[in-house]
Structures are given as C-alpha cells and as structure tokens.
A and B are shown apart, each in its own frame.
Chain A
Amino acid sequence: MSAATLTRQEAMEPQKPLAAMTRPLLVVLPFLVLLLAASLLPDWAVQVPKGWTIPFVDWANMVFDHLRDDAIFGLFSFRDLTRGAAELITWPLAFVEGLLVSGFPDIGIAAMPWVMTAGLSGVLGWYLRDWRLGALAAGCVAYMAIFGKWELSMITLSVVLVAAPIAGLIGFGIGILAVKKQWFEALVVPLLNVLQSLPHFSYLIPIAIFIGVGHKAGAIATVIFAIPPMARLTILGLKGVAEEVREAGKMAGCTRFQTLWMVEIPSARQPLLVGVNQVIMQCLAMVVIASFVGARGLGHDLLFRLQALKIGQALESGVAIVLMAITLDQLSRAAAHKEPSHLAPDASLLQRFPFLAASLAVIAASLLLAAITPYAQAWPSELALSTAPFWDALVDWITVTLYDPLQYLRNAMLLYVLIPIRDLFQSIPWTAMVALVAAAGWSLGGFRLAAIVSGFVLFIAFAGYWERSLITAYMVTVAVLLCIMIGLPIGIWASRSERRTGIAKLLCDTFQTFPSFIYLIPVIMLFKVGDVAAISAIIIYAMIPIVRYTIFGLRNVPQEIVEAGITSGCTQRQLLWNIRMPLAFPEIMLGINQTIMFALFMVIIAAFIGTKDIGQEIFRALTFNDAGKGLVLGLCVAFMGLTADQLITAWATRRKQKLGLAG
C-alpha cells in the first residue's frame, strides 16, 4: 500500500514545481512589493509614527502600580498577598537545606554527611533502574563534594527539590482544570503560550516588586518558570487517554472524581512523568537567572566568577550544574519507565524490601564513617580538586591560537553577510511585515490564523519598538539559518546509527543544560563585542533542537515505507532524499520552530555581549526599574516567537496530514 502511494506521488512530481510554487509566491508577493517600494511609501507606512504608538507601557505600569499600592482586598494589597504566600516557601526550603547542607544548629543536628547523600542517591538509582544508574548518581554527588562545590550544589539542589514539586503540583492542577473546564482551557492555553515565550528577564522586576529579592524570591522565580511545561503535559496526557479506557471506568460505576483519580491519571502516567522531568530540567535551567533576584548556590557562583573573569572556576560550577541535571534527568526518566514489580508471597523480609534495607545500611554506615573521620562528613576544602587551571589553560590556548584565523571569518561574515542583511532588515516597513504574516497565516490556516499572527505583528509595531524588534529579528533569522545549515547535516549524520544517535543526544543534553551565560565570555574573547559574537552565542545554544528533531524525525520514519523504498531499488542517497527526508520534514520543521524559540531566548541573553536590539532595551528597563516597559518589550519578543510558532505548527500539521502521518 505504501509503495502504491509512493509511486503515485512520484508520478505527480513533474507537474509539481509550478503548482507548488504559486502559493508561496502569492504569500511573499505583497511583502516583496511593499519592501521594494519602501522608499515610495509614505513615512507612516514604513514606521509607525510616534503619535500613533499605543501607550502599552503606561498601561502596564498603571496595572503594576495599582497592584503594588492600592489596597484591593480591603485590608491588604495584592502585593502583600503575594509576599505572604511567597513566605510559605521558606519553611520547606529551610528544612531541605538543613538536611542537605546546613544542618539544624538550633536542635543540634548536623547535615547529612556527603557519603550518606552519595550513598542514598546510589540506592535510589539502583532502585529505579539498575546499578549503573546508581553508580552515576553516587558518582555525580561525590564529584560535587570532591571538587569543592558541595555547599553551593546542595543549596541549588534544595531549591530544585522544593521548587519542582510545588511547580509540578500547581501545573498539574492547572492542567486538570483546563481539561475539565472548557472556558478555563480557552483562557489558560494562550496564557501558557505567552508565559513560555516571554524572556525571563521581563519577569525579574515584577518578581522584585511582588515577592522581593533574596534566596526565597529566587526559589519562587524558579517555581514560576517551571509551571508551564507541567500544565502543558498534563493537558496533553489527560486528553490522550483513550475513550475506551474512560468508558470502562464509567461502566465500572466510577464517580467523576474516581474517573479522574483512578482511571485517567493512572493511564496518563507516562506523559505526566515526562512533565515532572521537564519541570526538573526547567528548574535547573533557571539556576543562573534566578540568581539575578538573589537565589544562592551554583548559579550565583557562576555569574560572580564570570564577572571576575575567573572562567575556569565558572566552568566548574557549570559542569556541576550539568552533572546535577543529567543525574536528575536520568533518575526521573527511570521513575517514568519503572513498572511495578511483584514478588512471591513467601519472600523473606530482606527480599521484600531490599532497597529499604540498603538505604538503612547506607545511613548506618555513613553515620559510623562520619563519626570516625571528619572527611566523611564534609570534604575538607584544602583537599578539594580543581579543574579550573585546565579550563583556564584551554581558554587561553583557544584565544591565542584560534584568534587570528577566526578574525578572517569574523570580518568576512560581518562585512559581506551580517551588515548587508541588517541593513535590509532595518528597511522592512511594518506594513510589509503585516502583509507577509497575514498572507502566510491565511494560506496555512485561514482567517483565524491570519488575524492572530497579524495581531502579534501589529502589537510590536504599535508598541513603538519597531526598529529594535527588526534588529532582534535579523539576529534570530541569521542565527536560525546558520543553525539549519550546520545542524541539519549533523542530525542526518547522527541518525545513521544507534551509536551516533547516542553520542549526539548526550552532547545535546550537555549543551542544553550548560548554563548559556558561559558561552558569552569565550565568544567575546574570540569575536570581540559585536554581532558576530552575539550570533555565535545564539547558534551554540539554538542548534540543539534542530539536531534533536532531525534525528528524531529521520529515525521515526515508518519502517514499512523505508522497506518499500528498498524493495523498489532505491540507493542510500535516494532513500535519504526521496523517502526519509520528505517524511521527516514536518518533524524537522518543528525542530526549526524550537530552534527559533531557543534563539529568541538566547538573543536576550546576548544583550550582555552588547547588541542594539530589544534585549538591550529590556536591560535598560531593568536598570530604570521600569516594570511596564520590561513587560511590553518581553511581549514583543514573545509575539515574535509565537508568530513563527503558529505559522510553523499550522504548516507542519497540514503537511503531516497530507503525508498520512497525522496523529
């Protein structure tokens, strides 16, 4: 059957070009006309005049001021409420921190010795999957102790251990409510979309106002950032429960609550646990940014070292974050895949509870060890190993040796590629951009989509930051194109064998959890402050999803279609270009979509290097304590991302349906 469809498609191939070209052409045509005629257009059609801008910033500030100062609940203001609620997190935070690192001096109990933490992590890994995972977990914990990052890592870990469950529960609640109540879903899904694409820095001033600064505020910021993925996956998971399962529950006489609790949630276990995994990863991704509002731990240390030019030590903290992320990721994945086990009824107590027994043994042994030698309680700082000299030497070597050859690349890029493209982008009239996205929206998803995406662009144009938005758009566009050019071949290469896929995945995981701030300093050293440095930093980070999705797409092409190709005598090349690639293309497009999102995230951080785009303006808002401006600028960035997201998702869905891959 698949072979039949295939031949039919190939038979249609000759007439395809013209028919396929007209549609995109029609979409691009009005844009091109307006762009080329930019010099003929009246000024108002090129850039929104100052008098026309809508004072979104003032409105936002009015809302903030109102929430901050006016008592809206009679006795206390919204701000008092948020601050009071935020205070609740200090208790679990102090408890976990006391357990892991600081102890409870008031009642004379010391913190867990590091050997105990390592041992228990090992038992947990062993319990969840096998001894290898246990060894990984124990090894990573031991790394933190032996490399002198113990206190910082445990502070960070306690933030994650407290923030992740809270964020998970809130996200879970939001998800359930959204699935059960239509109106809530209609309200919350667009909100989640915006929240997830809003640059993190836009949150910082509101957090400083409504929650304050300090370790607690950092933990709350982490919670806020980690809620959306859980809510999303809860919605996805509960909606994915098969109707038959639900009906079986109904037939068994379940009440509505029982249906939810005993039927739907257990069958949605996998996506829910993936959600938990995402929450944990998001918490770790926030470690550095949360330190801007005062979270202590590895993130703060990393930022401090970077600013003091101690790159080696900053990298060490970065490595600790990566190791923590990999361990927690593996543990939570193992938990997601773990099947309940059954034992013979006549098993002995030890056989029935081997892991409990092992934990107790670890606790006893480590307490004993800690009593014998202080080394088991806390690794002495004079014995701490350091890889910093190695990293410093590596960075030195790179800057000295690679600098000169890279200068040619830098200069050529700048003079012949970047500056011309930037000039072109800056001449785009807002009317042309609206025309482009409206036409694309119309052709892909009809009137509704066209209205949404052109609404986004209109917001950006009328918020009064058109020129800066275009610079952001230029940097993201160039970076994304380069990511595709580099990432696609890597993805194709890596999808060829299981082993390569494994390597690529490991690299992707590492680079994704590596705090992106680290990339900033080396790229400046190599490329100087400017667009090349900023775009390189974006590429390093944004290439991850395109590689990931390319591998995923190519490896998940239905096997029977590939076999059909082989039987009809395709060469390897033909298999790739005529079968695998077209079928994987919708998936790859989703990867490009993610790449755009990652690039938008990184372009804001690249403002630390020195850009002239929206990111720079967000930092200025931060300096002048202007919460409203920060929010509106953040929305401009979010809407850019959402425009791309809406269009690409619509395209990919259509394409998948055409290819018969829907689902």
Chain B
Amino acid sequence: MTHFTKSATMATIMAFAAGTAFAQDSTDPIKIPTHNWSSQIVGAHIVGKLLEKGGAKVEYVSADSQVVYTALCEGDVSLVHEVWEGAFGVAFQKVVKEGCVVDAATHDAKTREEWWYPTYVEEVCPGLPAWEALNACADKFATAETAPKGRFLGGPVDWLKHDAERVEALGMNFEVVNAGSSAALWAELESAVKRKEPIVLFNWTPNFVEALYDGKFVEFPAFDPKCKDDPAWGSNKQLSYDCGNPKDGYLKIAAWKEFPTKWPKAYAILQKINFSNMDIAVQAKLADIDNMEPEAAADKWLADNEARWKAWMGSAS
C-alpha cells in the first residue's frame, strides 16, 4: 500500500512535470535506450521483450552511449543493460555515487580490453601474441611521424587506458596515437586489413569486430591490482602499469534509482537477466552478419534460448 501511494505520488509529480494531465501507476512505459552498436540494440530488444512478457509497457529510446548516463540519472531512460567497465565504468560510477542510479545486476560476460592485431600480422611478426615479440618487430608498425617507433592506435583518451604509461613502464618501442571514437578504430582496421598492412590497435571483447575479422589479443604480463598503484610490482621496479589490462572486466545492468519501487516485478526480472560472452557475440552476429533487423534478431535469440529466459522469468513471478 505504501508502495502504491509512494509511486502514485511520484507518478503524479512526474506527470505534472511532464505536462500530461493523468497520473498513471507503473503502467508508465519502461524506457530502454538503444545505442549505435548492433549487439546492444538486439540485447535491448531482448530485455524489452522479456519485460513485456512480465507485464510491463516498454518504449525504446535511441540515445548516445555517453549521454545516456545523464538521461538515466534524470529517469529519461529507465535502464542501461550494457555497462562496460572499460568504456563506461567511470561515467557509471559517477552517477551511482550521485545516488540517482542503482547497480542492478552483473552479467556473466567478462569483458576484456587489450592491444589486438588481425591474424595476418603473425606472418610478419613471429612469436605473437607475446608482447616481447610485438616489441621486437615494432618497426613493422612504424609510420612517418612515429618512425622508428611503432604506432599503436589507442582508444579515445577519455577511456583512460594508460597505454602510454604501459609503453614507458615496459620500455616498449611504440608510440600511442589516440583515435577519437570507436568508429575511427574500425575504419583504420578495415583499411589496414584490405591492404594487409600490419596494425596493432585497441580492441575489446565481446564485440562485433570479432565476427568480421580474425585476430588475437597481445599477451602482456598478467594484470594484478598492485600493478596499477605499486611501482615495485612487476618487471619495472620504478614505474606502475607494467602489466596488461584485466581479462575479466564487468558488464553490468544499471537502473534508474526509482526503477525498483516503480516497477518491482520488472525489476525482479531485470536482476535475473544474464548474458554470457557467447550471447553478446551471437546478438552481434545476428545483426551484423545475418543482417537481421534488431527485433527479428531478438525474437530469434529468444526462440533459441527459451529454457534460460523462462528460468529468469519463472523465479520472478
């Protein structure tokens, strides 16, 4: 009852703010953002269809993956189902700390972000994926402005990947050039692959790129939390970051702070939703390789994984 009054008041306030005349209970649609990469859009439709099966009304909103955390904080979108530790961890932690967003669940999928190369590079640079081997043939990756050093194409600066620090700590013969967006990374990769030019760039998994190009991550000294803060750790006793990135970054589901009280049933389902690396790769494949529309791809995935999602729903009701 108190729940009801509370959410009713809330809805009234919301409705007033929105300028509509009627106060509605949690029949308000749950707003799910779609970003501009395929696995996320397919996944968003899967999440949406599951919540609909649970009785909720759902609306899809397209939003930029960076702006979306502002929107989530304001309640303009109700959840974000792909919160990447690497790319969005900082923005996500910031809104959680502000108290307007809750950490709803964590997927089984482990994310990894690391230096990566397409397979043909192994021909010119034997000994890969060891980082020492990469370093030994750094000159193969050189361009006019970095020569004689190799050129490593990093992700956008604001992803805070500490590549330059690692290059220094491990004494690598590379120079880091930062791309401005993921699209810039893929454009260079595509161009290089067409001409079979050696390239080493920042990449991550799960990702649609895996479905398009064969390649491997470079193996750096294994990550250890101490490596970040304790210079004495690792091969370089003076500097931090003499190690690779963690191989098991989180992939979380974030929800607006009022989600649990406003749509308690839907929230129970949301907390159960759990994608693995394979799920994300399949979602990307359905859209990017099989060229299915997001909705159709979502239906296909749901049909193929009925037992799993039934279990998520079953415990909710």
- Please report A residues at the B interface, Cβ cutoff 8 Å: 76, 80, 83-85, 87-88, 204-205, 208-209, 212-215, 217, 291-296, 300, 303-304, 306-309, 396, 399-400, 403, 410-411, 414-415, 419, 520-522, 524-526, 528-530, 606-612, 615-616, 619-620, 622-625
Q: Give the shortest distance, in Å, between B108 (CB) and chain A (any CB).
A: 25
A–B complex contacts, Cβ < 8 Å, 22 sampled: A76-B16, A84-B18, A208-B71, A214-B76, A296-B62, A307-B186, A396-B194, A399-B195, A524-B184, A524-B187, A525-B187, A525-B191, A528-B191, A608-B180, A608-B184, A610-B180, A612-B178, A615-B180, A619-B156, A622-B66, A624-B90, A625-B73
Given known contacts A85-B19, A400-B194, what 7 new A-B pairs fall within 8 Å (CB)?
A87-B19, A212-B74, A214-B61, A399-B194, A609-B179, A609-B184, A610-B178
Q: How far is the CA of A615 from the CA of B156 in the complex (A)?
A: 12
B6 part of interface (Cβ distance < 8 Å): no
A529 to chain B: closest residue by CB? B179
Is there an interface contact between B184 and A293, defined as CB atoms closer than 8 Å? no
Q: Which of B30-38, B44-52, B253-261, B309-317 contacts A (4 or more CB under 8 A)?
A: B30-38
Is there an interface contact between A625 and B94, defined as CB atoms closer than 8 Å? yes
Is there an interface contact between A529 and B67, defined as CB atoms closer than 8 Å? no
Is there an interface contact between B37 and A403, defined as CB atoms closer than 8 Å? no
8 Å CB contact of A399 from B37, B61, B183, B191: B191
B251 part of interface (Cβ distance < 8 Å): no
8 Å CB contact of A528 from B61, B158, B188, B208: B188
Is there an interface contact between A620 and B158, defined as CB atoms closer than 8 Å? yes
Most chain A Cβ neighbours within 10 Å, of B31, B177, B181, B182? B181
A619-B158 contact given A525-B190, A609-B179, CB 8 Å threshold: yes
B17 part of interface (Cβ distance < 8 Å): yes
Q: How far is the CA of A46 from the CA of B157 in the complex (A)?
A: 26
Q: How far is the CA of A399 from the CA of B193 in the complex (A)?
A: 11
Q: Chain A binding site: helix, strand, loop or mixed by DSSP? A: helix
B299 part of interface (Cβ distance < 8 Å): no
Is there an interface contact between A520 and B183, defined as CB atoms closer than 8 Å? yes
Q: Give the shortest distance, in Å, between A530 (CB) and chain B (any CB).
A: 6
B77 part of interface (Cβ distance < 8 Å): yes
Per-residue A-contact encoding for B43-85, CB less than 8 Å = 1, 0 else:
0000000000000000001111011111101101100000000
A616-B188 contact given A212-B76, A529-B180, A624-B91, CB 8 Å threshold: no
- A308: chain B residues at CB < 8 Å are 36-38, 208, 288
Q: How far is the CA of A609 from the CA of B41 in the complex (A)?
A: 24
Q: Give the shortest distance, in Å, between B311 (CB) and chain A (any CB).
A: 32
Q: Give the shortest distance, in Å, between B303 (CB) and chain A (any CB).
A: 21
- B74: chain A residues at CB < 8 Å are 208-209, 212
B183 to chain A: closest residue by CB? A307
B153 part of interface (Cβ distance < 8 Å): yes
Q: Chain B binding site: helix, strand, loop or mixed by DSSP? A: helix
8 Å CB contact of B63 from A214, A410, A419: A214
B307 part of interface (Cβ distance < 8 Å): no
B212 part of interface (Cβ distance < 8 Å): yes
Q: Give the shortest distance, in Å, between B269 (CB) and chain A (any CB).
A: 23
- A610: chain B residues at CB < 8 Å are 156, 177-181, 184
B96 part of interface (Cβ distance < 8 Å): no
Is there an interface contact between B190 and A309, defined as CB atoms closer than 8 Å? yes
Q: How far is the CA of A83 from the CA of B15 in the complex (A)?
A: 11
B20 part of interface (Cβ distance < 8 Å): yes
A400-B153 contact given A83-B19, A84-B18, A306-B183, CB 8 Å threshold: no
- B177: chain A residues at CB < 8 Å are 529-530, 610
- B17: chain A residues at CB < 8 Å are 76, 80, 83-84
Q: Give the shortest distance, in Å, between A191 (CB) and chain B (any CB).
A: 25
A87-B20 contact given A529-B153, A610-B179, CB 8 Å threshold: yes
Q: Give the shortest distance, in Å, between A74 (CB) and chain B (any CB).
A: 14
- B33: chain A residues at CB < 8 Å are 213
- A403: chain B residues at CB < 8 Å are 191, 195
Is there an interface contact between B183 and A294, defined as CB atoms closer than 8 Å? no
- A615: chain B residues at CB < 8 Å are 180
Is there an interface contact between A213 and B76, defined as CB atoms closer than 8 Å? yes
- A293: chain B residues at CB < 8 Å are 63-64, 67
Q: Give the shortest distance, in Å, between B227 (CB) and chain A (any CB).
A: 25
Q: How far is the CA of A290 from the CA of B302 in the complex (A)?
A: 32
Q: How far is the CA of A624 from the CA of B145 in the complex (A)?
A: 31
| Residues of B69-125 whose CB lies within 8 A of A | 69-71, 73-74, 76-77, 90-91, 94-95
B238 part of interface (Cβ distance < 8 Å): no
8 Å CB contact of A625 from B91, B180, B182: B91
8 Å CB contact of A419 from B18, B36, B90, B145: B145
Q: How far is the CA of A208 from the CA of B191 in the complex (A)?
A: 35
A213-B67 contact given A307-B37, A609-B184, CB 8 Å threshold: yes
- B41: chain A residues at CB < 8 Å are 304
- A619: chain B residues at CB < 8 Å are 66, 156, 158, 180
Q: How far is the CA of A601 from the CA of B70 in the complex (A)?
A: 24
| Residues of B164-217 whose CB lies within 8 A of A | 177-184, 186-188, 190-191, 194-195, 208, 212
A396 to chain B: closest residue by CB? B194
B1 part of interface (Cβ distance < 8 Å): no
Is there an interface contact between B184 and A529, defined as CB atoms closer than 8 Å? yes
- B61: chain A residues at CB < 8 Å are 213-215, 294
- B70: chain A residues at CB < 8 Å are 205, 208-209, 213, 625
Q: Give the shortest distance, in Å, between A372 (CB) and chain B (any CB).
A: 28
B278 part of interface (Cβ distance < 8 Å): no
A85 to chain B: closest residue by CB? B19
B305 part of interface (Cβ distance < 8 Å): no
B276 part of interface (Cβ distance < 8 Å): no
Q: How far is the CA of A400 from the CA of B288 in the complex (A)?
A: 23
Q: How far is the CA of A155 from the CA of B204 in the complex (A)?
A: 34
Is there an interface contact between A214 and B31, defined as CB atoms closer than 8 Å? yes
8 Å CB contact of A525 from B63, B94, B188: B188
Is there an interface contact between A608 and B194, defined as CB atoms closer than 8 Å? no
B27 part of interface (Cβ distance < 8 Å): no
Q: How far is the CA of A347 from the CA of B284 in the complex (A)?
A: 65
Q: How far is the CA of A396 from the CA of B144 in the complex (A)?
A: 24
A204-B67 contact given A294-B62, A399-B191, A624-B90, CB 8 Å threshold: yes
B235 part of interface (Cβ distance < 8 Å): no
Q: How far is the CA of A300 from the CA of B208 in the complex (A)?
A: 19
B88 to chain A: closest residue by CB? A623
Q: How far is the CA of A85 from the CA of B76 in the complex (A)?
A: 16
- A85: chain B residues at CB < 8 Å are 19
B24 part of interface (Cβ distance < 8 Å): no
Q: Kindly list the 8 A-B residue pairs having the minimum CB-CB distance in the complex, ordered from nearest.
A: A411-B144, A84-B19, A525-B191, A610-B180, A212-B76, A87-B19, A524-B187, A213-B71
Q: How far is the CA of A414 from the CA of B156 in the complex (A)?
A: 21
B9 part of interface (Cβ distance < 8 Å): no
- B143: chain A residues at CB < 8 Å are 411, 528
- A209: chain B residues at CB < 8 Å are 70, 74
- A520: chain B residues at CB < 8 Å are 183-184, 187
- A291: chain B residues at CB < 8 Å are 62
Is there an interface contact between B63 and A294, defined as CB atoms closer than 8 Å? yes
- A524: chain B residues at CB < 8 Å are 184, 187-188, 191
A608-B181 contact given A619-B156, A622-B66, CB 8 Å threshold: yes
Q: How far is the CA of A87 from the CA of B21 in the complex (A)?
A: 12
Is there an interface contact between B180 and A616, defined as CB atoms closer than 8 Å? yes
Is there an interface contact between B183 and A625, defined as CB atoms closer than 8 Å? no
Q: Give the shortest distance, in Å, between A92 (CB) and chain B (any CB).
A: 14
Q: Give the shortest distance, in Å, between A329 (CB) and chain B (any CB).
A: 27
A400 to chain B: closest residue by CB? B194
- A217: chain B residues at CB < 8 Å are 76
Most chain B Cβ neighbours within 10 Å, of A215, A419, A622? A622
Q: How far is the CA of A303 from the CA of B188 in the complex (A)?
A: 17
Q: How far is the CA of A80 from the CA of B74 in the complex (A)?
A: 12
8 Å CB contact of B69 from A292, A526, A625: A625
- B20: chain A residues at CB < 8 Å are 87
Is there an interface contact between A625 and B76, defined as CB atoms closer than 8 Å? no
- A76: chain B residues at CB < 8 Å are 16-17
8 Å CB contact of B187 from A205, A309, A400: A309
